[in-house]
């Protein structure tokens, strides 16, 4: 029973569960999330009318706007991003995936090296090691925050460890003090994957400014959206230069610059174009507003949903600001009496699109299970430069596995154009499902 309501009252407004043919709480579709407005349209129009859609050239020392370092909108975005984040350098790229790859390249990581990463994330957080022939080593997550557990990181450190990729998953900062302390102790680099955490704050510092390199995504689903895009942040001059070189076929200019450190100077095309940069400049101006909508809706859900026994709403650690890229919850099957999956199916039937599990822990995916890698010869897993023995066995990260299999479920619509009215439907659906658990328990036994 929900919050001491009488059976009578529940009956009066609760029909049969939609999963059993009853009328759903919500029939209205969830609106498409877009934060693109007139400002972005005008900015893109200016770029298109100016006819210079992308402005990079192969001369490092050329004057703007035709420079190896990109055109005026890319440069302006980088300047504004660096100012906003209070960091020395921002480097715009065409996705966070490219950004993660460039980060591992810039750090000089290569064959035989290991990179510690969470398995509970999007694939690119780990493949960034593989593309430089390094080995991802998976550490477990904290049971309550879904972020890397520093204790597990410490257990995975070896003499081959060169970096930790920390993901501020769902929009909540990872435990950066502990992670930075481990990194310092073992002299290893920290890359912060902030794809889901624009403007999240850890003890007064924005995520992406604490480790060696921060990586942001600007893809269509992210809090700042430009279609596809990414931004890197760093306070280190040499890393910034190396990121710029990797972004734009670095090898074509290292001669003119007399650049000496050729490790990983095999360039890619990770360039952001002027159109994306012009939109990102407008989106950055609105970032605070975007997050305040998310936080307002999350506050409401936290208050309402924490009343249900068996549901753990997202936590916000002391001195941290959660930006709720995803509203991630934990489910206790024993308390509720049905499985998470049956419960989620019931909510979906009520018109609330929740999803279960988030990511299958990465090491359980085929890439790691089969270890085919490059060229069909098992490289880098079986590369002669690698003298470690990495395990991708089931059971290596029990918390992440349990989260995926039984506990985690999330909701992604706490963002504009949704409002508190839409969140009321979510709460109503939870009430209805909780009030009809006996009906659902039969389903659980099917
Ligand atoms: C945690 C995380 N890292 C990296 C990425 C990759 O971002 P992009 O699509 O910009 O390459 C994503 C995107 O979903 C992500 O969620």
The size of the chain, in residues, is: 446
CB of 223 within 6 A of ligand 1: the answer is: no
Q: Which candidate, 45, 65, 62, 46, places its Cα nearest to that of 54?
A: 65
Instruction: State the burial class of residue 421 (Cβ atoms within 10 Å of its Cβ: 0-12, 13-18, 19+).
Output: exposed
**What's the gap in Å between 207 CA and the centre of ligand 1?**
15
pLDDT at 441: 86
Q: Please state the separation of Cα 278 from the chain's center in Å.
A: 23
- 99, 124, 232, best to mutate for ligand 1 pocket (most atoms within 8 Å of CB): 124
Strands (E), 13-149: 89-93, 114-117, 135-138
3-state helix, strand, coil in the chain (%, to 5): 40, 15, 45
Cis peptide before 414 (omega within 30 of 0): no
Quick one: 91 and 107 in the same domain?
yes
Q: Tokens 């190396």 label which residue?
A: 242
Q: Answer whether 191 contacts ligand 1 (Cβ < 6 A).
A: no
Sign of CA dihedral 57, 61, 67, 68: positive
Q: Name the residue among 112, 83, 81 with its Cα closest to residue 99.
A: 81
pTM of the model: 0.95
- 420-435 helix and 437-444 helix, angle to the nearest 10 degrees: 70
Residue 59 and residue 74: Cα distance in Å, rounded? 17
Among 122, 148, 172, the mutation site with the greatest number of ligand 1 atoms within 8 A of its Cβ is: 122
Same-domain pairing of 416 and 304: yes
Q: Give residue 6's pLDDT.
A: 41
- CA separation for the pair 92, 241 (Å, rounded): 12
Q: Is residue 331 part of a domain?
A: yes
Residues 23 and 62 in one domain: no
Q: Where are the alpha helices (DSSP H) in 135-212?
A: 150-156, 176-186
330 and 212 within one domain = no
* Residue 100 CA, ligand 1 centroid: distance in Å: 9
* Cα(168) to centroid(ligand 1), Å: 11
In a domain, 76, yes or no: yes
Helix or strand (DSSP H, E) at 423:
helix 420-435
- In a domain, residue 374? The reply is no
User: Which residue(s) pair with 66 in the sheet?
Assistant: none
pLDDT in tens, the chain (446 residues): 333 334 444 444 455 899 999 999 999 999 888 899 999 999 999 999 999 999 998 888 887 667 899 999 999 999 999 999 999 999 999 999 999 999 999 999 999 999 999 999 999 999 999 999 999 999 999 998 899 999 999 999 999 999 999 999 999 999 999 999 999 999 999 999 999 999 999 999 999 999 999 999 999 999 999 999 999 999 999 999 999 999 999 988 988 888 889 999 988 999 999 999 999 999 999 999 999 999 999 999 999 999 999 999 999 999 999 999 999 999 999 999 999 999 999 999 999 999 999 999 999 999 999 999 888 888 999 999 999 999 999 999 999 999 999 999 999 999 889 999 999 999 999 999 999 999 898 766 66
Is residue 23 a part of any domain in this protein? yes
The answer to whether position 433 is within a domain reads yes
29, burial (CB in 10 Å: exposed 0-12, middle 13-18, buried 19+): exposed
Question: 147-150: long-range contacts (C-beta < 8 A, 24 or more apart)?
Answer: 147/118, 147/172, 147/173, 147/174, 147/175, 148/116, 148/117, 148/118, 148/174, 148/175, 148/179, 149/399, 150/175, 150/178, 150/179, 150/182
Whether residue 390 is contained in a domain is answered as no
Pick left, alpha or beta for residue 73 (phi over 0 → left; psi -120 to 50 → alpha; otherwise beta). Answer: alpha
Residue 14's pLDDT is what?
52
**Per-residue confidence (pLDDT) for residue 251, from 0 to 100:** 85
- Say if residue 169 is in the same domain as residue 91: yes
In angstroms, what is the span from residue 251 Cα to ligand 1's centroid?
27
Q: Is the CB of 365 under 6 A from ligand 1?
A: no
Structural domain range at position 196: 38-284
CATH number at residue 350: 3.90.1150.10
From 284, 309, 335, the end of a domain falls on: 284
> What pLDDT is recorded for position 409?
98
Counted domains in the chain: 2
What does the pLDDT read at residue 446? 64
The reply to whether 263 and 354 lie within a common domain is: no
Query: Are residues 223 and 301 both part of a single domain?
Result: no
Instruction: Please give the pLDDT value at position 320.
Output: 98
Identify the CATH number of the domain in which residue 202 sits.
Answer: 3.40.640.10
Last residue of a domain, one of 229, 256, 284: 284
Ligand 1 within 6 A of CB of 96: yes
- 105 and 15 assigned to the same domain: no
Domain boundary among 265, 284, 303: 284
Is any ligand 1 atom within 6 A of the Cβ of residue 94? no
Atom nearest to 167 CA in ligand 1:
1
């Amino acid at each position: 029973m929900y919050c001491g309501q009488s059976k009578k009252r529940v009956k009066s407004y609760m029909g049969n569960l939609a999963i059993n043919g009853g009328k759903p709480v919500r029939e209205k579709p969830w609106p498409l999330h877009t934060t693109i407005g007139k400002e972005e349209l005008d900015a893109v129009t200016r770029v298109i009318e100016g006819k210079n859609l992308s402005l990079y050239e192969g001369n490092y020392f050329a004057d703007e706007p035709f420079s190896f370092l990109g055109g005026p909108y890319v440069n302006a975005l980088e300047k504004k991003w660096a100012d906003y984040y209070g960091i020395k350098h921002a480097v715009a790229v065409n996705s966070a995936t490219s950004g993660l790859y460039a980060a591992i390249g810039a750090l000089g990581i290569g064959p035989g090296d290991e990179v510690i990463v969470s398995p509970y994330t999007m694939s690119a957080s780990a493949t960034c090691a593989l593309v430089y022939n390094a080995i991802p080593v998976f550490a477990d997550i904290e049971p309550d925050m879904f972020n890397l557990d520093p204790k597990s990181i410490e257990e995975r450190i070896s003499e081959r460890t060169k970096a930790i990729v920390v993901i501020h998953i769902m929009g909540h900062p990872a435990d950066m003090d502990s992670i930075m302390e481990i990194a310092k102790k073992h002299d290893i680099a920290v890359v912060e994957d902030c794809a889901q955490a624009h403007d999240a704050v850890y003890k007064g510092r924005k995520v992406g400014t604490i480790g060696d390199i921060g990586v942001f995504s600007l893809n269509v689903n992210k809090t700042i959206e430009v279609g596809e895009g990414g931004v890197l942040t760093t306070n280190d001059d040499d890393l910034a230069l190396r990121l710029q070189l990797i972004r734009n076929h670095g090898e074509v200019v290292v001669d003119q610059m007399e650049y000496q450190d050729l490790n990983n100077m095999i360039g890619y095309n990770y360039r952001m174009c002027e159109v994306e940069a012009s939109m990102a400049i407008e989106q950055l101006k609105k970032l605070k507003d975007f997050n305040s909508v998310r936080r307002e809706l999350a506050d409401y859900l936290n208050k309402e949903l924490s009343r249900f026994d068996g549901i753990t709403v997202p936590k916000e650690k002391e001195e941290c600001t959660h930006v709720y890229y995803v509203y991630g919850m934990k489910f206790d099957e024993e308390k509720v009496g049905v499985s998470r999956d049956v419960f989620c199916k019931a909510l979906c039937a009520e018109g609330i699109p929740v999803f279960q599990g988030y990511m299958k822990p990465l090491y359980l995916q085929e890439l790691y299970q089969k270890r085919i890698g490059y060229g069909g010869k098992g490289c880098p897993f079986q590369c002669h430069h690698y003298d470690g023995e990495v395990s991708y066995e089931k059971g290596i990260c029990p918390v992440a596995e349990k989260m995926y299999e039984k506990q985690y479920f999330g909701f992604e619509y706490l963002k504009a154009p949704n409002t508190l009215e839409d969140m009321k439907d979510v709460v109503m659906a939870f009430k209805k499902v909780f009030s009809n658990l006996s009906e659902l328990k039969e389903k659980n036994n099917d």
